[in-house]
Structure 1
């Protein structure tokens, strides 16, 4: 080449968009190098120009020296596509990817005078492509895992693609719903022609065209058990969800389906008038929440929202910790910390404030969900209302305390009378009147204890379902007169008024109805002034025969009307501890009347007395 050619070559080298280094073909000394080559090499120009090429690139000499020399000998170029090499750049070893060519530059005699080294760095592009490949492989793996989950799911799952909704995937549970039909590769209206004209198809197409999710519970779908067979009434719960591709375009619709025909038909037989079906989403009775490892709540179920009287955003921003009882916050936080360390759920009983400002007892379980490395992925909280259980425990505790008192009082009196009579008998001359009076009192105390034990036995029999009735025709008026007569003997100062309306006979257990009368009359006497009468009346209507006991006592507030028949329930308020008893008399009476097929009711207002009425069916 002449000087003019070298000048043109120099301009070409300097303006090229890729790295170029021109070497002497005999000595491999660098004669020209452009800025792009220096940018890739990241070595000083003085370390390359006019130097043997391998002095500058000793770190790759063992890899490519032979290839370069072979180019000079054979005049055949050498190509290296996306070669991964370790190069010393800016004094540091770096792992890079380059595409380069050793190309001979020939003279007019077809001899190599120079060798051009063309180089392009591909590190970023190759790494980006590898990341895409890894991501695609991971995506494919996840898709395969998801496919396996779908195949094993108990719910019927299928995938429709295209505007004709062609079956692309069907899991075994879905195939069982449409047993005997060939589904794959067929449009839904071809595979299931019974659906032509059904609104269900419009919902599927809305999901496909517009991405509108669709969910319906217990939908009536006339469909055949097998292809071509007669249609029958079947019921399904559906959920349509759009599938999107990597470009976020909808290319299919997932259908999740449960057949609930048996459940719906069973319920319809029991509840023929019911027109609306229940949704399946809120069957769990507990308050459920989810939170991130940081504690930020991401979900409250409807039970939580109803309890708090807030929407999700309101409750999340308010912080349900604000609803906790102040005395329990520190223990809760300590428990969460321990659960985070050990991975063991933290279980505690704690109080939360409801919309009325009242603290309600709950059983709270905070469970950390861990990944394979033992790190917390999320928290799941389950909070169950145990207020009634707490109240029941308290009533039982109160019952035991009162029962102890009720037993201790007559036992103490019995002991006192026995000691008194022993002293009297020990005298040379004792008074028979004292002994006789003491024995009478002992007899009443023993009867009191016997009645108490009888109530306890009946309570146990009722709770275990072993209280049996010995039904016979009972003259109700005679029984009332007998019980009232016993009360007149023990309470001669109290006026008992029985207004007989007829000669009523019922089929009943005489002793149990007597027990009901005794409980109601004794309550009337206990909770009313000593100089006020207690009235007993009977009446008859088409439903049966009613007996009413009316007093002029303290009365009962409306809020206690239903609770007063509960086991161990005693009315709160002034004077509570002025009366003995421990809350089972009315419970036993109500249970006995219900076993007879009757009903015990109450009419009362505070300060206006009470009327308890029980209704018994007439003797057939």
Structure 2
């Protein structure tokens, strides 16, 4: 029977048994392996605790040739208990072989199927009594011999009387030894009572006839809320209600079966300071039998599990609320067994997927509905989450089972570990975000349309500003020339912003094209630096060029990437701090690094930095303008050129933005 929550473990029960003054041992399997033995039994054998775990034959080799090993094996195979009294055993104690006499019992402890689970060995050293009995027999024989001799010769009477006096002394000594043994029994009974009182759990003994309480320790009295006056009273008078009725029923059951009985979460209603309380107890009933194998009493072991039960009920309420919330939000739930990839899901998920099959949907069926663009990626994400224990969060498109319509889903999950540390359950949620995706497309279309409409008048405005600026310089109007120069800068910034929105729109629509040409990368970087030095002359910018090398790329778009990285470095750095740009060539790759000494980026922002519309929010960045599209576009442009872009940053110390491109050589 499985161990119930809150009960003593086997080791704890064995530890309690080890405190007994009675010699006790427990053997497991047919090889009679010593699973446990208390100090009294080990002393009988003349050994120490190193024999625990050995077979009895190896642990006590002196038993070879004696009947005890074969008797134990017979008890194991038959399941019948064996009793013996005044049995001679030769044991090596204090380094020499000695004869001892024991009363002992080999009791087979059976499991539910009737097979022997273990053997309980109890023994009492009766050497003194047996020897006394032998001496008595010898005395009687001697008396008879003396009587016969008395009849034959009166001359020996004085010698015989002397011998009789000596014999009487021996008899008195034997009776003294018996009295000592009786006192030892009283002490053992008192010790058992002390063990009961000091037990770490609530323990009591209930008589089978009339269900009288024979003994209870303080913990059981506290559990039941009673005092010492309950001793000798029927259980139904002490507890009453459903709990007493159930306990009486369990006592009747154990009287018939003779086997331990378990009962969990027994409910009890009580009052405390005028308030009604509900308590929950777990019980184990052990039979106490006489020498005829009749159950005469029941030992009760109880545990208060009220807090655990309240926690369990609260957890059930929370789970119910969570389930209702998930259903109300139209969220699908799923879990996957990593070893078998068995898929379990709620009805909402089947509805979202359009699955109407009679048989449960399998994992392979669900993956098969994912569109080609995402199928391989979603499989990789799932495998990675299962193998590493990481989080799983992916947006993907799939075809519905019933109508073939393409819908967008967002699935999130996490794998959990069992008690052994193995990843045993991969579970999560799935939401239909089709409408959200449609809204994003409509927004992007609107941004693209508005940006396109603004581009033409802005181009005209830029031309007019340039013309007016030229005329102002020719006429010597320094104020107008300065104002128009600043206006031109702002118009150019507006143009860059509109181009960014247009590029995002084109990128989302798949219409952005790369017009590749061969050019020198370091020349492009120098042009960008010169432009920024005109716009921000107070910002020091240094450049370590790479060897002159031609690359094949879209010059304008790579220029946009460089401009965006340098512009960000200027925006997020103090004016006097240097911005350093380096260019290196390694093999067939050219790498560009833009390094600043600005405010840096927090660790939690780094993974999202290249996402569309993502902005770092802090007190320092609150006043800095931007829409979070520059780095997103830069990453897309570099990736479409077959390169990579990344960032390294220490918050408060500055950042490094690094991208590389294939040289084509």
* TM-score normalised by length of structure 1: 0.35
Would you tell me which structure has more helix in proportion to its own residues? 2
